[in-house]
């Protein structure tokens, strides 16, 4: 029984209230998932830089590992910003190679080291604990951007730790992230097929496979919407999930309508949440709401509009406030 939320500002400008809105939605759904909380915030940049967020390990002092990540990344690209707080290292870099090569260079340091997110606009923050604790550590309420997806988790079948928390970055696919409520029942079978082809799984959380599938579909040239649509036939089980890219957000609802999802939309925004209570607490009760039908998919795209404001997500790598 997880809670998922998404919000997209249709103006295409960076919404200064994005973080506040996402926090209101997440907090309202907090009781659906007390185990962990996380958000994927999309903030377009005007430079070519990418945001890299690395989990340095599960326990201990990570200064040495941070230094090693910085050394390896620094050998491949310019590092514009860096910040570390405990297990998290956040870098802004000018890397031009493939995400896979960068990821391999970083993750070969130690099996515990994982790239949590990598993108031109994407920045993922997540941890064990409540939405409030997430905000206290990372300053979620200060986040600005065009869109975001977020998650509160009630673990049913896999461990409760940072890596098993959502949103999941689709490893290797720039800017692609997912949040899922439900259960992919053909996960084990699909996972074996992927593993035979050399795909690495970072968790035992069935939700992780959604991003792997979507990343693979996008890599073949499929559109985001078609990738979402084809996932309806690829996955079995109960699922309402949201996926986001640098310029779009979309939902998929399983063919039996087993998991809730509700949408509130005006000319200015679209807000999506597991329960109406999250919409009521954020965008209010006046906007029309509708529940997506069984087996439906919908995508909203950020209009490509020049934003005069300087680029900065305001999300802390850590407690930078």
Residue 293 DSSP symbol: P
Q: Checking DSSP bridges between strand 79-85 and strand 177-184, what pairing results, if any?
A: unpaired
- Tell me if 257 contacts another protein by CB under 8 A: yes
Q: Counting contacts by CB under 8 A, is residue 266 touching another protein?
A: no
Verify binding: residue 285, another protein, rule CB under 8 A. yes
Residue closer to another protein (CB basis): 258 or 311:
258
Instruction: Tell me how far, at minimum, the Cβ of 313 lies from another protein, in Å.
Output: 30
Provide, rounded to whole angstroms, the least separation between the CB of residue 263 and another protein. 11
Candidates 3-11, 93-101, 233-241, 252-260: pick the segment binding another protein (CB under 8 A). Answer: 252-260
Q: Which of 9, 87, 265, 275 binds another protein (CB under 8 A)?
A: 275
Asked if residues 15 and 104 have their Cβ atoms less than 8 Å apart, the reply is no
Least distance (Å) between residue 249 CB and another protein:
21
CA–CA gap between residue 32 and residue 274 (Å, rounded): 9
Q: How far is the CB of 289 from another protein (least distance, A)?
A: 6
List the interface residues with another protein, window 291-320 (CB under 8 A): 291, 293-295
Q: For residue 277, state whether it binds another protein (rule: CB under 8 A).
A: yes
The answer to whether 186 contacts another protein (rule: CB under 8 A) is no
Q: How far apart are CA 145 and CA 314, in angstroms?
A: 9
φ, ψ (nearest 5 deg) of residue 41:
-105, 135
Size of the site for another protein (CB under 8 A): 19
Among 200, 290, 320, 321, binds another protein (CB under 8 A): 290
Assess 77 for contact with another protein (CB under 8 A).
no
Dihedral, 271, 272, 275, 280 alpha carbons, nearest 10:
0
User: What Å distances lie between residue 148 and 6, 61, 179, 281, CA to CA?
Assistant: 6, 31, 11, 17
d(CA 6, CA 16): 16
- Please choose, out of 79-87, 233-241, 279-287, 312-320, the segment that lies near another protein by the rule CB under 8 A: 279-287
In the sheet where 248-253 sits, what is the strand order?
Answer: 168-169, 177-184, 237-245, 248-253, 297-301
Q: Which of 2, 37, 66, 209 is catalytic?
A: 2
Catalytic annotation present for 290: no
- If one asks whether residue 91 binds another protein (CB under 8 A), the answer comes out as no
Report the C-alpha gap between 262 and 14 in whole angstroms: 24
CB of 41 vs another protein, minimal distance in Å:
25
Q: Determine, following the binding rule CB under 8 A, whether residue 262 of this chain makes contact with another protein.
A: yes
* 272 forms part of the interface with another protein (CB under 8 A): no
Question: Rounded CA gap, 247 and 142, in Å?
Answer: 20
**Does 233 participate in binding another protein (rule CB under 8 A)?**
no
From the list 14, 106, 8, 129, the residue with the least C-alpha distance to 52 is: 106
Asked if residues 240 and 296 have their Cβ atoms less than 8 Å apart, the reply is no
Q: Is 281 in the site for another protein (CB under 8 A)?
A: yes
Q: What is the smallest separation between the CB atom of 276 and another protein, expressed in angstroms? A: 4
Q: Which stretch binds another protein (CB under 8 A): 84-92, 184-192, 205-213, 276-284?
A: 276-284
In whole angstroms, how close is the CB of 170 to another protein at the nearest point?
A: 29
CA nearest 247: which of 280, 278, 223? Answer: 223
8 Å CB contact between 6 and 149: yes
Active site residues: 2
Binding site for another protein (CB under 8 A): 255-257, 260, 262, 275-277, 279-281, 285, 288-291, 293-295
């Amino acid at each position: 029984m997880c809670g998922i939320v998404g919000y997209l500002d249709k103006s295409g400008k960076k919404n200064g209230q994005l973080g506040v809105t996402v926090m209101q939605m997440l907090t309202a759904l907090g009781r659906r998932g007390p185990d962990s909380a996380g958000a994927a915030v999309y903030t377009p940049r005007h430079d070519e830089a990418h945001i890299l967020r690395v989990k340095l390990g599960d326990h201990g002092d990570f200064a040495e590992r941070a230094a090693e990540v910085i050394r390896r990344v620094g050998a491949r690209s310019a590092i514009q910003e860096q910040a570390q707080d405990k297990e998290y290292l956040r870098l802004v870099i000018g890397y031009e190679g493939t995400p896979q090569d960068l990821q391999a260079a970083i993750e070969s340091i130690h099996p515990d080291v994982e790239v949590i997110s990598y993108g031109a606009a994407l920045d993922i923050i997540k941890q064990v604990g409540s939405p409030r604790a997430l905000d206290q550590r990372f300053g979620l309420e200060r986040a600005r951007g065009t869109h975001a997806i977020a998650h509160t988790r009630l673990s049913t079948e896999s461990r409760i730790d940072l890596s098993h928390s959502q949103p999941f970055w689709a490893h290797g696919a720039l800017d692609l992230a997912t949040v899922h409520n439900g259960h992919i029942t053909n996960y084990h079978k699909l996972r074996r097929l992927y593993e035979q082809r050399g795909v690495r799984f970072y968790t035992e959380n069935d939700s992780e496979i959604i991003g792997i599938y979507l990343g693979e579909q996008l890599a073949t040239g499929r559109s985001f919407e078609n990738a979402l649509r084809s996932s309806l036939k690829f996955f079995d089980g109960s699922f309402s999930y949201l996926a986001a890219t640098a310029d779009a957000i979309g939902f998929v609802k399983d063919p039996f309508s087993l998991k809730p999802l509700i949408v509130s939309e005006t000319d200015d925004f679209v807000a999506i949440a597991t329960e109406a209570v999250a919409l009521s607490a954020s965008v209010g009760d006046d906007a029309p709401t509708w529940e997506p039908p069984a087996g439906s998919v919908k995508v909203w795209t950020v209009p490509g509009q020049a934003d005069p404001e300087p680029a900065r997500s305001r999300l802390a790598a850590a407690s930078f406030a």
